[in-house]
Amino acid sequence: MRKIEHIDIVVTKDVDHPDHCEKYFDSIVLIHQALPMISLDEVDLSAKFLNHEISAPVMITGMTGGHPEVYTLNEKLARIAEALRIPIGLGSMRPLLIKRGDQAVAETYKVVRRTAPDVPVIGNIGAVNLPGLNIREIVDLVNELELDALAVHLNPAQESVQLEGDTGFKFEIVDYIADLVKTLSVPVIVKEVGNGLSMEIVGVFYSRGVRYFDVAGACGTNWVTVEKYRLSPNHVKRQVADALASWGIPTPVAVVEARYVARDAVIIASGGVWDGLRAAKCLSLGADMVGLAKPVLKTLVLEGFESALRFLESYIQTLKTVMFLTSSRTPRELRRKPVVILSPLLDFLKQRGIDVYEYVLSR
């Protein structure tokens, strides 16, 4: 039932991070080229990701699964992913582990691969749940759902205010994930859920073999606030949630920090990357992919399949147009084009010990 509550709150309540993130995205300035030397048709967004050819470096990140009522939502999201040839993530697979053998629950996940056979499908499990599981269970899940990668999410802020939260985020999780990297036949993606990955945490996992990171910065859906709406008005944790409403690392900062310590890793930028211009800025800063969830889900629920499909088509076209205006034929070329970084992003990165000028030249 918690999954249904989450969807309802995300769709009907204001659960976005505060507007301070607008300033961080605005402090990334891509340089307009009045004579791009290319045509718009020459811009090629296609990429290879998880052994699939995809049409654009854009993915629908994990949102839903685990309750029979979300079957139709997942089926429609998968149809969109297949139609646009972009990756799609599953929501947390914890319900599938709790209700092994429940075919109705399993089908809410399986429908995605069945509906989207030609694009990457990424599973998703909470890091805090791992120590109690046998790795064989995870291997079986990956095979059963025909996954191309497994995302392991870190969500200590959400768990700390969740009514049923588990806050056992101990170092044994690092060892478990390192074992998963060695055992699974598909990559492991370490991700946040909306409070951002720091360079310290990326560095720890990178040193243990992880090569995929989704920074999920504090600029999009705020799961601390989502959990707040599940609490009674006088609950102590609700007051904690109010105090932590702006907690986290802004997405542009997290992208740079991740790339700074994991030069050859695949970096996914999510967390408020809700339009094609923000996507272009994240790719310019060093991300390989961008991801988004809430705008797609909300449009799908409130306006229907065609509107959600159109939203993502517009998103991708905006990204393509920005690349044209910066004279970038490919996302890789965009990363080599000039970019100006202003404050507050500049100040934040400097105080984190990053030589911004050197970073921009080497990104």
Residue 179 has pLDDT above 80, yes or no: yes
The pLDDT of 197-220, averaged and rounded, is 98
pLDDT single digits (tens) 229-261? 999 999 999 999 999 999 999 999 999 999 999
Per-residue DSSP letter, 31 = P
The pLDDT of 199-210, averaged and rounded, is 98
Question: H/E element holding 226?
Answer: helix 223-228
> Is 0.95 topped by the overall pTM?
yes
Report yes or no: 221 and 294 within 8 Å, Cβ to Cβ.
yes
Q: Which residue has the higher pLDDT, 93 or 154?
A: 154
Residue 1 has pLDDT above 70, yes or no: no
Residue 102 has pLDDT above 90, yes or no: no
Q: How far apart are CA 258 and CA 213, in angstroms?
A: 8
| Residue of 181, 132, 110 whose CA lies nearest to 152 | 181
Residue 66 has pLDDT above 80, yes or no: no
Report yes or no: 13 and 229 within 8 Å, Cβ to Cβ.
yes
Question: pLDDT confidence of 185, banded at 50, 70, 90?
Answer: very high
Structure tokens at 69: 């009522």
Q: How far apart are CA 28 and CA 252, in angstroms?
A: 8
Q: How far apart are CA 152 and CA 210, in angstroms?
A: 11
Lowest mean pLDDT among 10-19, 62-71, 150-159, 339-348: 62-71
Tell me how far CA of residue 54 lies from CA of 85, 247, 271, 272, 313, in angstroms: 5, 34, 21, 22, 14
Query: What pLDDT, on a 0 to 100 scale, did the predictor assign at position 20?
Result: 75
Task: Judge: domain 2-362, CATH 3.20.20.70.
Answer: yes
Structure tokens at 232: 């009674």
Residue 64 has pLDDT above 90, yes or no: no
Share of the chain above pLDDT 70, in %: 98
